[in-house]
């Protein structure tokens, strides 16, 4: 690997950029887990999932992959019960809906606001 790194500057540049992105992502996750409240972490996670797996439709942004409360709880380090309560609260507020294991973000602007620090 070291020989390839020294022999191919394009590969070396790509590898360094890739590693830098990984470090930035991990630092961001660490900051989120350290300083954000549960609702902020869940909101940020849903926004991230929208960016990765979301498809815009007439009624909102549908996540193409199925995500359970347990999945989101594991990502955010929040209990499954708390994630479920947050989801229910946001469903009642019209921010999101869930159907057949899929999630639709109906109000992404409100979700962005919830992701902001208090």
Kindly report, residue by residue over 60-104, the tens digit of the pLDDT. 999 999 988 999 999 888 999 999 999 999 999 999 999 888 999
Percentage of residues in the chain having pLDDT higher than 70: 87
Q: How high is the pLDDT of residue 67?
A: 86
For residue range 23-34, what is the model confidence (pLDDT) as tens digits? 666 555 555 554
Whether pTM > 0.85 for this model: the answer is no
Question: What is the number of other CB atoms lying within 10 angstroms of the CB of residue 29?
Answer: 17
The residue among 69, 51, 71 whose CA lies nearest residue 61 is 51
Domain 37-118 -> CATH class: mainly alpha
């Amino acid at each position: 690997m070291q020989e390839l790194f020294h022999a191919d500057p394009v590969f070396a540049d790509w590898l360094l950029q890739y590693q830098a992105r990984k470090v930035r992502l991990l630092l961001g996750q660490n900051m989120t887990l350290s300083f954000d409240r549960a609702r902020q972490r869940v909101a940020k996670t849903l926004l991230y999932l929208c960016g990765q797996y979301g498809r815009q439709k007439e009624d909102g942004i549908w996540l193409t992959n199925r995500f359970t409360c347990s999945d989101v709880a594991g990502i955010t380090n929040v209990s499954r019960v708390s994630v479920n309560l947050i989801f229910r609260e946001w469903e009642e507020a019209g921010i999101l809906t869930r159907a057949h294991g899929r999630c639709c973000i109906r109000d992404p602007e409100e979700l962005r606001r919830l992701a902001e620090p208090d």
